[in-house]
Amino acid sequence: MTEPKKIAYFVTGTDTDVGKTLVSAALIQCFADQELRVIGMKPVAAGCYQLGDQLMSDDVAQLILASNIVAPIHHVNPYAFSQAIAPSIAADIAGIEIRMEVIEQAYAQLAKEADVVIVEGVGGFCVPLSAHFDTADLAQKLALPVILVVGMRLGCLNHALLTAEAIKTRGLKLAGWIANQPNSEMVAFDENFQILNQRLQAPCLGILDWMDRADFKDGFVERVARQLRLEKLGVLKV
Which spans of this chain sit near Mg ion (rule: CB under 5 A)?
20-21, 59
Q: Per CB under 6 A, which of residues 151..180 are in contact with ligand ADP?
A: 180
| Residue 76 contacts ligand ADP per CB under 6 A | no
| Residue 43 contacts ligand ADP per CB under 6 A | no
Which member of 5, 6, 42, 112 is catalytic?
42
> 22 contacts which partner out of ligand ADP, Mg ion, none, CB within 5 to 8 A by kind?
ligand ADP
> 210 contacts which partner out of ligand ADP, Mg ion, none, CB within 5 to 8 A by kind?
ligand ADP
Would you say 183 or 201 has its CB closer to ligand ADP?
Answer: 183
Which residues, in sequence order, are CB contacts of 218 under 8 Å at separation 6+?
Answer: none
We find the least distance from the C-beta atom of residue 19 to ligand ADP, in angstroms, to be 4
Pick from 12, 21, 88, 140 the residue near ligand ADP by CB under 6 A: 21
What backbone torsions phi and psi does residue 168 show, to the nearest 5 degrees? -65, -45
Q: Per CB under 6 A, which of residues 186..225 are in contact with ligand ADP?
A: 208, 210-211, 213
Would you say 128 or 182 has its CB closer to ligand ADP?
Answer: 182
Would you say 24 or 140 has its CB closer to ligand ADP?
Answer: 24
> 18 contacts which partner out of ligand ADP, Mg ion, none, CB within 5 to 8 A by kind?
ligand ADP
We find the least distance from the C-beta atom of residue 212 to ligand ADP, in angstroms, to be 7
CA within 13 Å, CB half, 220:
18
d(CA 69, CA 196): 35
| Residue 30 contacts ligand ADP per CB under 6 A | no
Pick from 88, 140, 163, 181 the residue near ligand ADP by CB under 6 A: 181
3 state SS for the chain? CCCCCCEEEEEEECCCCCCHHHHHHHHHHHHHHCCCCEEEECCEECCCEEECCEEECHHHHHHHHHCCCCCCHHHHCCEECCCCCCHHHHHHHHCCCCCHHHHHHHHHHHHHHCCEEEEECCCCCCCECCCCCEHHHHHHHHCCCEEEEEECCCCHHHHHHHHHHHHHHCCCCEEEEEEECCCCCCCCHHHHHHHHHHHCCCCEEEEECCCCHHHCCCCHHHHHHHCCCHHHHCCCCC
Would you say 25 or 91 has its CB closer to ligand ADP?
Answer: 25
141 as an active site residue: the answer is no
We find the least distance from the C-beta atom of residue 171 to Mg ion, in angstroms, to be 25
| Residue 84 contacts ligand ADP per CB under 6 A | no
Indicate which residues carry an active-site annotation.
Answer: 42
